[in-house]
Amino acid sequence: MVRPSRRATRTVVAALVLLGAATLSPLPAQVVERFDADPLTGQSHNVFFGEGDVATRFTFVPEEPSHFPADREGTLRVVYDTTLPTARLSTPIGQSFSTDADFDFGAILTIRSEGFFADPNGFSQIAFGLWNRATTGLNRTSFPSDSFDLVEFDYFPNVTVFGGPFVTPSVFGGNVAGNAFFNFAFASAATALPLDMPLLVQVHHDSAARRLNVRVSHHLQALRFERIVDATVNVDLSRIHPTFLLDAAGVAGYFEGFPSIHAVVDYDLLYVGPLPSPWSVVRRPNSSSSR
């Protein structure tokens, strides 16, 4: 009988301890969807679930050429039209985020100029984000609203008497008295995002600072995006109570009943976790970041 050496035994024990620790420790959420296969028919890398009138708003375009280097053929095309019924498409993120957790998510999207319209007398958004599959309702744009547990990137392209367009991320905490706007935070940056250009949106939640940071970059060249200086927003979340609980990532289009916007947007990436490789972000000379 051959007996293992003490060194070999220690190595095996150490490996088992590390394996056990890895098994017991929660894995960080990591979702990467490239939309190179149809999420509406279950062919995409992640499983997506539709709510509302999905067929009027979401289309997978398999023959769409890549929009930037390392992008794959195909895109998820979303119609933001406030005269259409609300619909959203989401995928589980594998765990639940609250105000106690640091987390990141984002997307690469292109707002198409063809058919683009933003009524100066209206106010509505291009939106994607994180929400709760059980508690976040579809009634986002009414008062009272049932959109509890929602962290959302919003771009309002309307230019009104109050200014605009605005990058305005919105955060809704848990249910307070049946109205999502009773537990709500937002902040805005007045800037127009370019059309027909891939945009990288990065959202970071800092639990210690109780802050949500949103940054938008445009495609520069090759695998690099460049920060749009005026499209950086910080949202103070110190008054969000109770906390939000988020377990899904997705894209949402909202109904208002009158034509505030009509925009067609192509999504080529949706992610939760670090920005996926091979892309990176550069800053303009003499510019700074809040994170």
Average of per-residue pLDDT across 267-277: 98
Average of per-residue pLDDT across 88-117: 98
**3 state DSSP class of 134:** coil
pLDDT tens for each residue of 159-168? 999 999 999 9
135: amino acid identity, one letter: T
Q: What does the pLDDT read at residue 90?
A: 99
Cis before 65 (ω within 30): no
**Residue pointed to by tokens 């930037």:** 68
- pLDDT(11) > 50: no
State whether CATH 2.60.120.200 applies to domain 28-282: yes
Long-range contacts of 23-31 (CB under 8 A, 24+ apart): 26/95, 27/94, 27/95, 28/273, 29/93, 29/94, 29/95, 29/97, 29/103, 29/272, 29/273, 30/94, 30/272, 30/273, 31/91, 31/93, 31/94, 31/105, 31/249, 31/270, 31/271, 31/272, 31/273
d(CA 202, CA 82): 25
| Least confident span in 23-27, 133-137, 157-161 | 23-27
Full-model pTM: 0.88
Which residues in 177-195 are b (16+ Cβ under 10 Å) and which e? eeebeebbbbbbbebbbee
| Least confident span in 46-55, 236-245, 278-287 | 278-287
pLDDT tens for each residue of 27-83? 455 899 999 999 999 999 999 999 999 999 999 999 999 999 999 999 999 999 999
Q: What does the pLDDT read at residue 143?
A: 82
Sequence spans of domains, the chain: 28-282
Count helices and strands (H / E) in the chain: 2, 19
